[in-house]
Amino acid sequence: MKQKIIFGLLLFVCTLSGVWAQRTTFLKINEVLVINKDNFQDDYGNKFPWIEIYNASPGTVDIAGCFITNDINNPRRYPIPKGDVLTKIKPRQHVLFWADNMPTRGTFHVNFTLDPDQSNYIALFDSDGHTLIDSVTVPAGQRPDISYGLLEDGWSQKRLEEKLRLNSTYKEKNGSELWVYFEQVTPSSNNKILDTNERIEKFKKNDERGVGMTITAMAVVFIGLILLFLFFKLIGNIAVSLSHERAMKASGISKEEAKGIIQTSGDIYAAIAMAIYEATELHDEENTILTIKNTARSYSPWNSKIYTLRETPIKK
Q: What is the 3-state secondary structure (H, E, C) of 164-219?
A: HHHCCCHHHHHCCCCEEEECCCCCCCCCCCCCCCHHHHHHHHHCCCCHHHHHHHHH
What's the pLDDT tens digit per position in 207-228?
777 777 788 889 999 999 999 9
What is the pLDDT, as a whole number, of residue 32? 95
Listed in sequence order, the residues at least 6 apart from 27 whose beta carbon sits closer than 8 Å to its beta carbon are 53, 54, 55, 56, 61, 63, 66, 89, 124, 133, 134
Higher-confidence position of 174 and 236: 236
What is the pLDDT, as a whole number, of residue 156? 87
Return the top range by mean pLDDT from 4-13, 23-32, 185-194, 207-216: 23-32
What is the pLDDT, as a whole number, of residue 19? 42
- Angle at 52 (CA atoms; ends 145, 187), nearest 5 degrees: 50
What's the pLDDT tens digit per position in 41-52?
998 999 999 999
Higher-confidence position of 181 and 283: 181
Higher-confidence position of 274 and 68: 68
Closest of 83, 62, 188 to residue 126, by C-alpha: 62
CB of 39 closer than 8 Å to CB of 145: yes
Lowest mean pLDDT among 5-14, 63-72, 73-82, 136-145: 5-14
User: Is residue 284 pLDDT above 70, yes or no?
Assistant: no
Instruction: Quote the CA–CA distance of 256 and 53 in Å, as a whole number.
Output: 77
- Angle at 231 (CA atoms; ends 228, 235), nearest 5 degrees: 140
- Angle at 55 (CA atoms; ends 54, 58), nearest 5 degrees: 150
Instruction: Quote the CA–CA distance of 92 and 89 in Å, as a whole number.
Output: 8
What is the pLDDT, as a whole number, of residue 27? 95
What domains does the chain contain, in order, with CATH numbers?
16-195 (2.60.40.1260), 213-280 (no CATH)
Q: Are β-strands 78-79 and 67-69 bridged in parallel, bridged antiparallel, or unpaired?
A: antiparallel
Instruction: Quote the CA–CA distance of 314 and 316 in Å, as a whole number.
Output: 6
Closest of 194, 25, 195, 190 to residue 93, by C-alpha: 190
CB of 34 closer than 8 Å to CB of 148: yes
What is the pLDDT, as a whole number, of residue 17? 43
Mean pLDDT of 226-232: 94
Instruction: Quote the CA–CA distance of 288 and 294 in Å, as a whole number.
Output: 20
Count other C-beta atoms under 10 Å from residue 36's C-beta.
24
Instruction: Quote the CA–CA distance of 65 and 124 in Å, as a whole number.
Output: 11
User: Is residue 261 pLDDT above 60, yes or no?
Assistant: no
- Angle at 187 (CA atoms; ends 184, 193), nearest 5 degrees: 45
